Amino acid sequence: NAGVTQTPKFQVLKTGQSMTLQCAQDMNHEYMSWYRQDPGMGLRLIHYSVGAGITDQGEVPNGYNVSRSTTEDFPLRLLSAAPSQTSVYFCASRSRRTVNTEAFFGQGTRLTVV
Amino acid sequence: LAKTTQPISMDSYEGQEVNITCSHNNIATNDYITWYQQFPSQGPRFIIQGYKTKVTNEVASLFIPADRKSSTLSLPRVSLSDTAVYYCLVGDSRGDSSYKLIFGSGTRLLVRP
């Protein structure tokens, strides 16, 4: 049981490049989310999903796309990277079958756009 | 989703009890109060959740007064390893908004030797 796995851990992109951040969970959780965290700041919600085939925008969705074809995977795509997207990205998952709001987070992807 | 307000930072010393208060004046009837802890370079980790009165686990205690407009996370006898950012979240764990966990800026706790 690996929990939430994010790849890669580190990435450097040039402005304008595209890439996909991977997130996978093996807990059969319905809810998955992507957050970004800028230095010294709190987490901001980018996109979230309540189940396979269902996604919606969070607080800061511009410049990012998501899809959820399976329960396990929730990739985040940067269409055309910009320096403002330099940040640490966290993926999280949570079960809808529990009363508490315990979410499980991955170890993060540190992205630098130059 | 109810807005929360917490101190930006707090300092403490090893062995002391630390209490972090969170204000949530517009908390709704079905909302729960949840606290997360985040160490540097790691994702947040769930600490504790409560609805009213007091909840205690092996890590912390959560005190919620009768009006539920605030809550206090209590960390007993902190150590250097408790240095982290602590986030207070308020939301209905069973409602449609439960999947959108919105994090504020949190409280940065520094524990000194």
Min Cα–Cα distance to chain A from B94, Å? 6
Residues of A with Cβ-Cβ distance to B101 under 8 angstroms: 33, 45, 92, 94, 101, 103
Judge: B100–A92 Cβ closer than 8 Å, yes or no.
no
Judge: B46–A103 Cβ closer than 8 Å, yes or no.
yes
Residues of A with Cβ-Cβ distance to B89 under 8 angstroms: 101
User: What's the pLDDT at B96?
Assistant: 56
Average pLDDT (B86-104) is 76
Q: Is the dihedral of CA A45, A57, A69, A28 positive or negative?
A: positive
Say yes or no to pLDDT of A54 above 90: yes
In a 13 Å sphere around the CA of B44, the CA atoms on its Cβ side amount to 38
Beta carbons within 8 Å of B77's beta carbon, 6+ residues apart: B15, B16, B17
Judge: B100–A48 Cβ closer than 8 Å, yes or no.
yes
Q: Which residue of A has its CA nearest to B108?
A: A40
Min Cα–Cα distance to chain A from B4, Å? 13
Average pLDDT (B42-70) is 94
User: What's the pLDDT at B105?
Assistant: 85
A41: its two tokens: 């700041």
Average pLDDT (A90-105) is 85
Query: Nearest 5°: phi and psi at A43?
Result: -85, 140
Beta carbons within 8 Å of A91's beta carbon, 6+ residues apart: A4, A6, A21, A23, A25, A32, A33, A34, A35, A74, A76, A105, A106
User: Three-class SS string for B13-60?
Assistant: ECCCCEEEEEECCCCCCCCEEEEEEECCCCCCEEEEEECCEEEECCCC
A20: its two tokens: 């996909």
Judged by a CB distance cut-off of 8 A, whether residue B93 touches chain A is yes
Say yes or no to pLDDT of B95 above 70: no
Question: How wide is the angle at C-alpha B105 spanned by C-alphas B85 and B93, nearest 5°?
Answer: 90
- Partner residue opposite B93 with nearest CB, options A41, A45, A99: A99
Judge: A45–B101 Cβ closer than 8 Å, yes or no.
yes
Q: How many other CB atoms are there within 10 angstroms of residue B107's CB atom?
A: 21
Length of chain A: 114
- Partner residue opposite B101 with nearest CB, options A4, A101, A108: A101
With bands split at pLDDT 50, 70 and 90, how would you rate the model's confidence at B43? very high
User: What's the pLDDT at B2?
Assistant: 67
* SS3 call for B99: helix
pLDDT tens digits along B5-17: 999 999 999 999 9
Judged by a CB distance cut-off of 8 A, whether residue B87 touches chain A is yes
